[in-house]
Amino acid sequence: MITGFIFRALDGKIVAAIGILLAAGILVPALNLLVPPDSAFHIPTYAMSLMGKYLCYALLALALDLVWGYCGILSLGHGAFFALGGYAMGMYLMRQIGSRGVYGNPLLPDFMVFLNWQELPWFWYGFDMFPFAMLMVLVVPGLLAFLFGWFAFRSRVNGVYLSIITQAMTYALMLAFFRNDMGFGGNNGLTDYKDILGFSVQADGTRAVLFALSALMLSLCLLIASAIVRSKFGKVLVGVRDAESRVRFLGFRVENIKLFTFVVSAMMAGIAGALFVPQVGIINPGEFAPANSIEVVVWTAVGGRGTLIGPIIGAILVNAGKSFFTGAFPEFWLYALGGLFIAVTLFLPKGIVGTIQHGWNGRKAMKAAADREKGRDDTVLPQAAE
Amino acid sequence: MIFKSLLRACLACLFLSLCTPAFAQADSKALLDSLADANFKQAEEIVGQLAASGDPRVVPALEAFAEGDLYARKSDDAVFITQAAGSKLALIDPLSGESAGEVAKGAMSKIRVNNNLRRVIRSALGGLTLLSPDRNTRLQAASAVLASPSAENLDLVEAALERETDPEVKARMVEARAVSLLSSDRPPEAKREAIETIASLGGRNAIGILMSSAGTLDPSLQEDLDAAIARLESKLAFWDMAQNVWYGVSLGSVLLLAAIGLAITFGVMGIINMAHGEMVMLGAYSTFVVQDVIRSNAPQLFDWSLPIALPVAFLVTALVGLAIERGVIRFLYGRPLETLLATWGISLILQQAIRSIFGPTNQEVGNPSWMSGSFALGGMTVTWNRMWIIVFSLTIFFALLALMKRSAFGLQMRAVTQNRRMASSMGIRTPWVDAFTFALGSGIAGIAGVALSQIDNVSPNLGQSYIIDSFMVVVFGGVGNLWGTLVGALTLGVLNKFLEPSVGAVLGKILVLVLIILFIQKRPRGLFALKGRAVEA
């Protein structure tokens, strides 16, 4: 049954995308580690980390697409789940520093010593164990999504209202994490990591493994998302998006369907955050900023929502553009981003992938029509798929 | 009557006991010169005697003493006020204030002063200047005695009180006398009266004075004292509460200003305008430009800069709003989430444009004279700018309400909101109504910016800080209802200010956000929900 579930997920495009991702996951680290630095094919470590960062963003955008593109929930707070996953990872990395911190305290991270704390707060316990930390990467965002969704979906808060309260959620979290008393490093966040599972986070080898892991996790999540979308459950999901009341009248528990999708999506966002932190080397409350979450929405919209592959392409393209612009013309990045928001919503509502698909389907339909014309078959034209 | 004569007898006794016979006839000059070889303790006594002499000529000498500028000549122990003049010291006669030549530093020895002595000197000065011919000096002196009460001043205060004619100074002196009396050895009846006088002063200071004398008083007075303190405290608690409500209303009016434009674009038209905050920012920058022009061309008009900036800001932001509606939003009606994204893009462009033109730093927007300063209302302080902003936001609110409910344009606006197609078939040009409604909402955000420029930093990020709060207010109050926005803004403002003292500003804000999120679960359509068909639209 599981195999059937997975098998259905694999249509041509998904297979191709996973193939490309896995190939990149092997090729890029290989070009970094095995090719000598003076070769034209060598990929420097910073470039690899940058690409790793894009893959994490792509995973975040994929997570958002699952709820927005297929379930119709526009979450403006997905950055919060991403950041929570990142903080869980950051806490593990902080505990790994041990007595190598500036103050040399074997138990307390530097910022706690600086704030004159005497003992580790209870919620920091267990984060010295990697498996526990990884569990928290999934559980914390998932739990928040569950609680939030439980209340919101049951009382049928939807559409714009839901978007606004998700934004309020991430804003409240940002304010909370900025406080020093919270015990998460306040303004400065968690940084200055030394090693992960005994390997130095700065080393090329570790960076290469992290990149490969990002590619792998992205492929895996893409597979899961695709399996969900293509299952019977996925059909109901699209039904909820397009006609919520009708699905409810047919006897489905709409709130449970939404809740499940929301929680899965939040966990994916958490994984993205956890992979992001060791590659970037810092996590701070700025990641909770509402503007970040809205940017994720744009990546998804640019790539094409409701396509799964689109958001991945969108996230990579927009972020590559951002890296280019902020380096070359820092003044113009916000103009470009703002313009992109407007242009995409006005002229490209289906996004890049959606538009290509639409054109493709349209061409196929025309071709079929031409064939029928030849065969003197005058049945009604099938409508182009949305 | 008997009481009064008794008091006077006491006073005389006290006066005599203070002035020891050896110094009774000594003039101020001799007293001053005796400072030369006095230790701290003796110096304190001498200062007390100088003060008791009531001789106003010793004031400069005492002031110099407190500053450490009083020196004694080693050769004859004569005391002088000195001023550094290069490597030498310029001598000034302490009583006449005339110059007495210059001497080398080595020829003089400084009369040392410590903090204890400085306090004695200060209270002595307070007493001495009570008799000054200048009204303001006397008032200040009485206030000084009031602030640092001591029994030694009592006689001086009473002496000054008898001579005083100015009613304000007199009232202050009565208070000063009561305060000094409490720590003296007067009979309990006099003290009881003094407690009443102090209690009528009100405020934290009065409580402090009464508290400090709690242990030293006669046990029979304890009850009066406790009652007075309790009365003062309950009064204080009341005014604290009033002050808190006032802060809350003030914050609420700011929220109302920021949200009221949104109540039109979001509440009435259903457009999620994420660029709303930037409209507020544009309004604030319009104020800055208007003030800049006025400063360089007609500085005498500066007090009028805000009334001038209002129409300018309204026009600028209304035009920008019109352009946004015609250029982008009209293609997106019926797709609220897409509108959200597009207007967010617009907000990024506007922010960056302002940053490119004016730079990323805060701009200086001045307060006209009628907006600065404060006044006291009972036990609380009210700043004029907060006061005017409350008045202003309520004016805007009611003007808007009248426009919506009483004008033809408002009627058309409501008709289009309630049933677009029906309105259209009745001959209302719905695209025009849409465009002007959006322009109106943006223009109101602009004039909100004029007011907010007075209390907030005018920077390209100004709008960002208001956008989430504004949405919270509108959603909390109930979409499509202006009254809901008013009630929502004031409730959130007051709630915020009441949470602040107990949990801190940031946590208070977080709590309010969480409460709103929970509230929306309970009432998804806000406090004042629309009923009927409009809900499903």
| Parent domain of B143 | 2-68+111-212
* Cα of B261 to nearest chain A Cα, Å: 17
A296 occurs within a structural domain: yes
pLDDT mean across residues, chain A: 89
B105 occurs within a structural domain: no
In this prediction, residues A148-167 reach a mean pLDDT of 87
Q: How confident is the model at residue A375 (pLDDT cuts 50, 70, 90)?
A: low
Count Cβ neighbours within 10 Å for each residue of B405-427 and write b for 16 or more, e otherwise.
eeeeebebbbbbbeebeebeeee
Is A279 in the same domain as A363?
Answer: no
In this prediction, residues B18-32 reach a mean pLDDT of 56
Is A264 in the same domain as A122?
Answer: yes
3-state helix, strand, coil in chain B (%, to 5): 75, 5, 20
Residue B516: list chain A partners with CB under 8 A.
165, 168
Over its C-alpha atoms, chain B yields an Rg (Å, rounded) of 34
H-helix or E-strand containing B104? Answer: strand B99-104
Is B244 in the same domain as B146?
Answer: no
What Cα–Cα distance (Å) separates residue B96 from each residue in B100, B132, B133? 10, 17, 18
Choose the mutation target among A153, A160, A255 for the interface with B, i.e. most B CBs under 10 Å: A160
Write out pLDDT tens, residues B388-407. Answer: 999 999 999 999 999 988 99
Is A344 in the same domain as A378?
Answer: no
In this prediction, residues B318-329 reach a mean pLDDT of 94
Any chain B CB within 8 A of the CB of A15? no
Residue A147 has pLDDT above 90, yes or no: yes
B419 occurs within a structural domain: yes
Is B245 in the same domain as B185?
Answer: no
Is B269 in the same domain as B186?
Answer: no
pLDDT over 70 percentage in chain B: 90
Is A143 in the same domain as A204?
Answer: yes
Beta carbons of A312 and A17 less than 8 angstroms apart? yes
A82 occurs within a structural domain: yes
Is B173 in the same domain as B300?
Answer: no
Residue A301: list chain B partners with CB under 8 A.
341
A140 or B99, greater pLDDT: A140
Considering its fold, how many domains does chain A have in total?
2
> With a CB-CB cutoff of 8 Å, which residues 120-179 of chain A face chain B?
148, 151-152, 154-157, 159-161, 163-165, 167-169, 171-172, 175-176, 178-179
A261 occurs within a structural domain: yes
Is A273 in the same domain as A167?
Answer: yes
Is A248 in the same domain as A367?
Answer: no
Is B181 in the same domain as B145?
Answer: yes
Is A177 in the same domain as A325?
Answer: yes
B489 occurs within a structural domain: yes
pLDDT over 90 percentage in chain A: 54
Question: Domain holding B324: CATH number?
Answer: 1.10.3470
Is B314 in the same domain as B426?
Answer: yes
Is A69 in the same domain as A8?
Answer: yes
What's the pTM value of the predicted model, to 2 decimals? 0.76
Q: Spell out the alpha helix ranges (H) of A231-253.
A: 232-242, 244-249
A293 or B530, greater pLDDT: A293
Write out pLDDT tens, residues A40-70. Answer: 888 888 899 999 999 999 999 999 999 999 9
Q: What angle do CA A274, A277, A283 make, to 5 degrees?
A: 115
Please tell me the distance from the alpha carbon of residue B466 to that of residue B41, in angstroms, as a whole number.
62
Considering its fold, how many domains does chain B have in total?
2
B80 occurs within a structural domain: no
B501 occurs within a structural domain: yes
| Parent domain of A380 | 359-386
B336 occurs within a structural domain: yes
The token pair at A190 is: 């968690």
| A192 burial via Cβ count (<10 Å: 0-12, 13-18, 19+) | middle
A140 occurs within a structural domain: yes
Per the rule left: phi > 0, alpha: psi between -120 and 50, beta: everything else, A290 is alpha
Is B273 in the same domain as B142?
Answer: no
Which residue is closest to A339 within chain B, CA to CA?
Answer: B345
A354 occurs within a structural domain: no
Is A287 in the same domain as A370?
Answer: no
Is A178 in the same domain as A234?
Answer: yes
Is A201 in the same domain as A297?
Answer: yes
Q: How confident is the model at residue B23 (pLDDT cuts 50, 70, 90)?
A: very low
* Cα of A293 to nearest chain B Cα, Å: 12
The token pair at B202 is: 């009100």
Is B284 in the same domain as B136?
Answer: no
CB atoms within 10 A of CB A322: 16
Count Cβ neighbours within 10 Å for each residue of B326-361 and write b for 16 or more, e otherwise.
eebbeebbeebbbbbbbbbbbbbbbbbbbbeebeee
A19 occurs within a structural domain: yes
Is A333 in the same domain as A371?
Answer: no
B225 occurs within a structural domain: no
A368 occurs within a structural domain: yes
Q: How confident is the model at residue A378 (pLDDT cuts 50, 70, 90)?
A: very low
Report which of A156, A177, A138 is spatially closest to residue A283, judged by C-alpha positions: A177
Is B290 in the same domain as B352?
Answer: yes
Token pair 């006491």: residue: B10
Is B115 in the same domain as B181?
Answer: yes
Whether residue B341 and residue A345 make contact (CB cut-off 8 A), yes or no, is yes
Is B346 in the same domain as B450?
Answer: yes
Is B119 in the same domain as B259?
Answer: no
Q: What angle do CA B257, B262, B265 make, to 5 degrees?
A: 145
What's the one-letter identity of residue A249? F
- In this prediction the ipTM stands at 0.83
Residue A348: list chain B partners with CB under 8 A.
none
